[in-house]
Structure 1
């Protein structure tokens, strides 16, 4: 497998320092694995980030202290602590807090890729975080240990390529109808009506809903809304792999108003977009853009 070239991003200021090393997965994996990002950081100006819903499943392999996760809209008093974990698809945001230092690797997977790699119904992971060893058992523990002990990011990414190829080769193929429907939704940015998907497949809404719950984790309509929201977020502050680029370089920087961005992303109007932002992000677009951290830092909470 040819090794893609990694991209390194660094930041150092009064709020702390961090370094990310991102790399595409090996060519054989790219249908399901959207990329790797190794990271190390120490922050003093903040310790908590806002994580937003997206059309991807996130797998974190932690090398440092456990992270604290809370869901302000669902269970504000419930706090979970995890080091290496999988976050399924979400329809609301969460807060992730570190003690100020952390290190590890983030893998971004398509929902179908996660279904194949993990071998579980994806609705069991929806709106939740599950420890990696609960899903992969001894294999997960061994992988975390090997990645921690590897001499550098190059070797860690190669280990991940090998481990994921083995798991995908051993998995049952994804259902062609779900793969087709998901691909059409992604290509349309979440604009395609569910009825049109059903017509294209010659199936009922009930059938597609059942398949999506099993292999994606949410209903087709919810997945479409999340994809539309994700595109709007990209236009406010574009996320390239694991790096956030200042909003001035994207949609707002092209002189587009919030209303124009809403229409570009398939919303009826700005009010429609604002409602989705409040549900999915707990903030308006302008409030969210104001929390953007520099140099791939994510969103402060």
Structure 2
């Protein structure tokens, strides 16, 4: 099982880096796989799709808390651009809190806000480079009103993220370091990310395991990633991915489900 489309990461323009964490251009080749996986992802994404006949639409895909395995890829989609929104960007840009989008993939224009409808209409008219220029003009003003809150959320996200040289901190330690209560930190994450701090950290850590496991010793990876031991890593991986690491990396996966557009995860 593989991804249905070939992802190509694009460089995020400097002007968008405070608000956009990643951009992917996705194009379908002539041969699409029969099945594919969506791994857990804490980011909310804007997706602009182009069908083979040229029709364009805009979607918003909320955080995915667990992996999904699909069959029957949509062969009408020729390409799409995926824009990962940074922490705290969803409500200023779309007019809705991130928590309302968890586990959902919906037409952007179907969100119950004028901001989302206007953005949807604009994005389907623009080429990718024009879309980035439009977002550059649109994003700074909505975030300017509460920069201190945005900085606090980004600092917390950074502390709870996993990198090759950085295991995620404990939630209580992050709250103490940022001089907020754990309840305030949870509320900040729920509004700005859509997930609790603990759930965000679990997803980010499992995504790190997915990246590093093919070339790392699992016991060493578990220790470096902040798990108590390898069994703790295996348990967390199984919960989010549906299978233990060894099964996932040898292709023994859950039966895929039919791919349904706009399906609630």
TM-score w.r.t. the length of structure 2 is 0.78
- The counterpart of 1:262, out of the listed 201, 219, 222, is 222
Do structure 1's residue 87 and structure 2's residue 61 form an aligned pair? yes
Do structure 1's residue 277 and structure 2's residue 237 form an aligned pair? yes
Structure 2 counterpart SS, 1:36? strand
Once the two structures are TM-superposed, the CA of residue 28 in structure 1 deviates from its matched residue by 1.3
- The counterpart of 1:227, out of the listed 201, 204, 225, is 204
Q: 1:185 to 1:274 in 2, by over 3 A?
A: same
- Return the alpha-carbon distance in structure 1 between the equivalents of residues 74 and 66 of structure 2: 24
Structure 1 counterpart SS, 2:220? helix
Once the two structures are TM-superposed, the CA of residue 203 in structure 1 deviates from its matched residue by 2.0
User: Equivalent residue for 2:160?
Assistant: 185
User: Equivalent residue for 1:144?
Assistant: 124
Once the two structures are TM-superposed, the CA of residue 291 in structure 1 deviates from its matched residue by 4.5
- Matched ranges for 1:1-301 at <5 A: 20-42=7-29, 44=31, 46-64=33-51, 84-97=58-71, 98-102=73-77, 103-135=79-111, 136-147=116-127, 156=128, 158-172=129-143, 173-174=146-147, 175=149, 176-186=151-161, 191-236=168-213, 247=214, 251-252=215-216, 256=217, 258-291=218-251
**Length, aligned pairs only:** 238
- Return the alpha-carbon distance in structure 2 between the equivalents of residues 278 and 43 of structure 1: 33
- Return the alpha-carbon distance in structure 1 between the equivalents of residues 92 and 63 of structure 2: 15
TM-score w.r.t. the length of structure 1 is 0.69
- For the Cα contact (< 8 Å) 1:229–1:276, is it kept in 2? yes
Q: CA RMSD in A?
A: 2.9
Q: Deviations over 1:23-74 (max 9, x none)?
A: 2121011132123222221465633311111332222211127xxxxxxxxx
Structure 1 counterpart SS, 2:247? helix
- For the Cα contact (< 8 Å) 1:24–1:34, is it kept in 2? no
- For the Cα contact (< 8 Å) 1:59–1:107, is it kept in 2? yes
Structure 2 counterpart SS, 1:59? strand
- Return the alpha-carbon distance in structure 2 between the equivalents of residues 190 and 115 of structure 1: 29
- For the Cα contact (< 8 Å) 1:119–1:171, is it kept in 2? no
Higher relative contact order (CA 8 A, sep 6+): 2
- For the Cα contact (< 8 Å) 1:34–1:108, is it kept in 2? yes
Unaligned 5+ runs, structure 1: 1-14, 66-82, 148-155, 237-246, 293-299
Structure 2 counterpart SS, 1:186? coil
- Return the alpha-carbon distance in structure 1 between the equivalents of residues 198 and 224 of structure 2: 19
Q: Runs of 4+ in structure 1 displaced over 3 angstroms?
A: 17-22, 42-45, 113-116, 187-190
- For the Cα contact (< 8 Å) 1:93–1:280, is it kept in 2? yes
Once the two structures are TM-superposed, the CA of residue 106 in structure 1 deviates from its matched residue by 1.4
Q: Higher strand share goes to which structure?
A: 1
User: Equivalent residue for 1:242?
Assistant: none
